[in-house]
Each structure stands twice: as C-alpha cells, then as structure tokens.
Amino acid sequence: MAPAAKTVCVMDASSGTGSALVAALLQRGYNVHASVQNHEELQCVKGNTNKLKVYRSDPLDYHSIMNALKGCSALFYSFQPPPDHSTYDELMVEIEVRAAHNVLEACAQTDTIEKVIFTSSVTAVIWRDGIKTMSSDVDERHWSDVNLCKKFKLWHALSKTLAEKTAWALAMDRGVNMVSINGGLVMGHDLTINNPYLKGAAEMYEDGLLVTVDLKFIVDAHICVLEDVSSYGRYLCFNNIINSHEEALTLAHMLLPPSSEAFSHSSLEESVVYQQGISNKKLIKLMVDFEGGVSC
C-alpha cells in the first residue's frame, strides 16, 4: 500500500498512459509531480491540486528534469515525441536515446530517488530472426535485434531498444534501482493505424506476437512494480493477444474506416488461429495479489 506522504514524478504526464497514471496515483494517496513538455499540455493533467504539482520539463534539458524530480522518491518515465517531431525515424532514435540518458543521469544525481519505472515497449523484445524456430516463447529475457530493425526501418522498435539499453547501462553503472515495463499496444481512445508500434503488425500477427494492453492494466502494472519491493528487471505488459481472424478484424475496425479493404473477409483466412509466441508470466505472477484503486 502507498504511504500518503510519498511523492513521485510522472514524466511525460501528457500522454494517455501518463495522465491516467497521474490520476491513479493521486487516488492512491501519492503526491505527484506531473512533468510535461510544453504549457499547452498542462490542461491534460488534472487531479487534486493539493497533491499535484505540474512541471514543464524537456527530456533533452537536464536541469528541467532535475527540477521536476526534487523531493521525489520514484520516477515513472515514458518518452513522448517532441511536438515539432512526432514521426518515428532515424532522428527520433537519436532523440529518444539522448532523453533516456539524461533522465537516468538526473535520477542518479537525485538523492531521494529510490526506484525508476522505465516505460519501454514490446517492440524492444520481439524483432529477432528465427522467432518461429525458438523452442520457447519470447519473454523479458529477449531483445530486438538492432541490425534487423535498421534493415526493415522499424524505427519505433529500434528507438525503444536502444533507449532502454542505454537506460539499463546507466542504471547499472550509477547504481539506480530501475524496473522496465515493456508494454503492448495500448488500447486508448487516441489509437490509430498510424501508431508507430504497428509497423510490421502483419508479421507480429503471424508470429503470435501482436499483443495489446488495456489502459487500466498497464497503469496498475506500473504502480504494482513501484509498490512491490520484489520487482526487478523487465516485465512484458499485455493482457490480450491478437492471434485469430476474429480478433484481427476487431482491431482493424478500431484502426481503419469502414470502407477499408481490411474489412473484407477474404483478406484474412476465417479459420486461421496463430499460436501465441510470447509470455507475460513474470508480470502476472507479480500482480496476482495487487489491488488497484484507493490505497488503505
């Protein structure tokens, strides 16, 4: 359970997951420093004003990060592309890696930080040669192959992989207690076909690796790994797998207009069901006794 006096930072709090996390933390009795990149995003962050402080922090500006972290015992960090460069490409890879380095360095220099929850992605895990010939499911021990990501221009996967590896290297070097949440495709209201996570979705689907996660589940997972002192390393976070024609069609309905060819029943084999090729057992085991909502 969360001690009421605990103060934590959420960065970037303007994302769908970030803002939901802020709300959940406030409900559990935490004091929250909500960090956003620009003032236009301040209205996205709402909650008990007595327990909420909003900061403008640029992940490429070390001093602004330090300011948001003052007095905090933990940081929830997720990268949000800057407003002037929202497309994942080679440049975004460099930006996200630099941001991860700055944030972990700032945490290392902040005496009060006890744990960092680093939001990564399943795309930092699944892109490897020979997936279909593996004797066991893909899990948190695996990493996406950097050269394969570059070859097929999987910029989101490359960005998440290199940023997370940078964060882990710095955390281990500086003695920062870090845990990562490698989330699936977050099923929020703003989900579209242009989500960079979906690059290579057909291949994910055929390999049994196309996974999604409900907003509440990924928020609960973040809070669980903070509050459970036994949490460590990486956690694959998803609560649904798209591995049948029916599920694929449902997802397509959410992502595409009704006139799209994706709705043609002939475009997918009705009978196809792909074997699941990924495991989230480590997270499910950790969360078995977790109770979301207000802390007692």
pLDDT digits over 9-32, tens only?
Answer: 999 998 889 999 999 999 999 999
**How high does pLDDT run on average in the chain?**
89
Specify the pLDDT at position 48: 62
- The catalytically annotated residue of 6, 115, 160, 199 is 160
153 is catalytic: no
How far from each other are the two terminal CA atoms of the chain, in whole angstroms?
7
pLDDT per residue over 91-113, tens digit each?
A: 999 999 999 999 999 999 999 99
Specify the pLDDT at position 295: 47
pLDDT per residue over 214-225, tens digit each?
A: 999 999 999 999
Whole-number Å distance between alpha carbons of 164 and 162? 5
Kind of pairing between the strands at 115-121 and 178-183 = parallel
Question: Domain residue spans in the chain?
Answer: 7-184+215-236
Whole-number Å distance between alpha carbons of 25 and 37? 20
Average pLDDT value for residue range 256-279:
66
pTM above 0.75, yes or no: yes
CATH number of 7-184+215-236: 3.40.50.720
Q: Answer yes or no: are the C-beta atoms of 155 and 216 closer than 8 Å.
A: no
